């Protein structure tokens, strides 16, 4: 799929292992079967790159793709991807024409969108009716489902392709709230069936539900985070052991010096060295998605196969690492997320230090960081 990785234009890069994406899709397909897997590639594939991830996921048997925005669907189409694409939220009215042109499937939950999309579509546009069963983000109230489904059916330019809902606490399998959401969803499906409305696609599960809630799987699962090899949350970690992280964040040491005991470092001089030490500088900072506070919250970097603390606040373009008395030279590879030798730092570790979730970590790796695609980590080191 990709040849040997080209040297990136700057010595800091995110390496994406497309073989890991394929592996994770295969793991999810086994876990979700007989339900199919649609890969969620919104937010530029959770920071991994939507187009290469989409291709790898489809090659591995994903039957469709999900995105958040109409423009994200258009990017996939421009890249020549012809798989089914579902836009997960109602587009704003000025994008009704765009979603039709992108030949994407639309999620709807209001009369306004149903009527507007019906007016914009020439050949039948496939729509999925979204029901809010308790997440309370977007979706129609369960009581409105039949009325909205009938409204869709009455429009010759629309085809009701699916009914869906979204789960709020699927990553906490013991929480009975998921069961209550699915009960509400099943009640809606029954009510539609009683009206003779049986859309071909029914779906509710995100990654966590795909792994942890058998009854949430229905026709297909909308798997995002697990496709990238990241555990959706601690509560389903025991179900995610086969997943392989696809992304690593790497940089080459740009500068090395000795700093004396008693000296302080970086803006605000917040860190004081208690002994003479070797400090390596990495050409990566908060503008690249390494949060400024990662040092204060115990963040570590791998250099020479060992964990080493980030010292001083992370600056916009650079950060510093305490290497003790070890020999470190400019050009040495440092790993911020990923493995080196026997050690590994995961996006989940960053998330725990930063009081967030791994999703925010990988989505936060900015566009300034080149993405380098490899097919299997193996010998792809440069």
Ligand X SMILES: *Cc1c(COP(=O)(O)O)cnc(C)c1O
The encoded tokens of residue 325 equal 């008395």
Residue 139 and residue 130 in contact, taking contact as beta carbons nearer than 8 Å: yes
Q: Which of 149, 154, 151, 181 is nearest to 165 (CA)?
A: 181
Task: Choose between 23 and 166: whose C-beta lies nearer to ligand X.
Answer: 166
Residues numbered 30 to 49 that lie near ligand X (CB under 6 A) are 40, 42
User: Which of 23, 105, 155, 222 is the binder for ligand X (CB under 6 A)?
Assistant: 222
The catalytically annotated residue of 46, 218, 257, 267 is 267
Least CB distance to ligand X at residue 203 (A): 8
Task: Choose between 7 and 92: whose C-beta lies nearer to ligand X.
Answer: 92
Could you give the CA distance from residue 220 to residue 65 in angstroms, rounded to a whole number? 11
Least CB distance to ligand X at residue 270 (A): 35
| HSE of 340, CA atoms in CB hemisphere, 13 A | 21
Residues numbered 70 to 99 that lie near ligand X (CB under 6 A) are 88
Least CB distance to ligand X at residue 172 (A): 13
Decide if residue 27 touches ligand X (CB under 6 A). Answer: no
Helices 50-59 and 18-32: angle between axes, nearest 10 degrees:
50
User: Which of 39, 223, 239, 251 is the binder for ligand X (CB under 6 A)?
Assistant: 223
Least CB distance to ligand X at residue 214 (A): 16
Verify whether residue 42 is a known catalytic residue: yes
Q: Which of 372, 353, 371, 366 is nearest to 286 (CA)?
A: 366
Spell out, one character per residue from 224 to 253, where the chain touches ligand X: x when CB under 6 A holds, - when not: xxx-----x---------------------
Reduced to 3 states (helix: H, G, I; strand: E, B; else coil), residue 49 is coil
Decide if residue 166 touches ligand X (CB under 6 A). Answer: yes
Q: Characterize 134-166 residue by residue with b for buried, 16 or more Cβ atoms within 10 angstroms of its Cβ, and e for exposed.
A: bbeeebbebebbeebbebbeebeebbbbbbbbb
The catalytically annotated residue of 42, 109, 228, 373 is 42
Residues numbered 202 to 221 that lie near ligand X (CB under 6 A) are 206-208
Least CB distance to ligand X at residue 309 (A): 31
The encoded tokens of residue 102 equal 């992108």
Reduced to 3 states (helix: H, G, I; strand: E, B; else coil), residue 264 is strand
Name the residues annotated as catalytic: 42, 267
Provide the binding-site residues for ligand X, judged by CB under 6 A: 40, 42, 88, 166, 206-208, 222-226, 232
């Amino acid at each position: 799929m990709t040849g040997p990785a080209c040297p990136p234009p700057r010595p800091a890069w995110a390496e994406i292992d497309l073989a890991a994406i394929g592996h994770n899709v295969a793991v999810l397909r086994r876990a979700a079967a007989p339900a199919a897997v649609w890969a969620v590639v919104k937010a530029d594939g959770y920071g991994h790159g939507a187009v290469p991830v989409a291709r790898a996921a489809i090659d591995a048997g994903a039957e469709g793709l999900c995105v958040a925005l109409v423009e994200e669907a258009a990017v996939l189409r421009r890249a020549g991807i012809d798989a089914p694409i579902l836009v997960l939220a109602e587009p704003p009215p000025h994008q009704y024409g765009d979603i039709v042109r992108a030949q994407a499937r639309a999620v709807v939950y209001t009369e306004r969108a149903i009527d507007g999309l019906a007016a914009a579509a020439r050949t039948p546009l496939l729509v999925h009716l979204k029901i809010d069963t308790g997440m309370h983000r977007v979706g129609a109230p369960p009581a409105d489902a039949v009325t909205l489904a009938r409204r869709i059916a009455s429009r010759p330019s629309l085809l009701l392709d699916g009914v869906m809902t979204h789960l709020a606490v699927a990553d906490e399998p013991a929480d009975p709230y998921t069961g209550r959401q699915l009960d509400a969803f099943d009640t809606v499906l029954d009510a539609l069936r009683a009206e003779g409305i049986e859309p071909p696609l029914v779906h509710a599960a995100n990654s966590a539900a795909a792994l942890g809630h058998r009854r949430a799987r229905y026709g297909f699962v909308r798997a995002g985070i697990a496709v990238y090899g990241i555990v959706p949350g601690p509560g389903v970690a025991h179900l995610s052991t086969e997943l392989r992280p696809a992304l690593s964040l790497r940089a080459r040491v740009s500068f090395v010096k000795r700093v004396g005991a008693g000296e302080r470092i970086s803006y605000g001089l917040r860190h004081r060295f208690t002994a003479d030490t070797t400090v390596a500088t990495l050409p990566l900072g908060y503008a690249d998605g390494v949060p400024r506070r990662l040092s204060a919250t115990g963040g570590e970097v791998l250099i020479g196969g060992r964990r080493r603390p980030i010292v001083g606040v992370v600056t916009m373009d650079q950060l510093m690492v305490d290497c003790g008395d070890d020999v470190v030279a400019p050009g040495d590879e440092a790993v911020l997320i990923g493995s080196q030798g026997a050690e590994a730092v995961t996006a989940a570790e960053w998330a725990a230090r930063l009081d967030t979730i791994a999703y925010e970590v990988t989505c936060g790796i900015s566009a300034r960081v080149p993405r380098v695609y490899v097919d299997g980590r193996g010998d792809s080191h440069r």
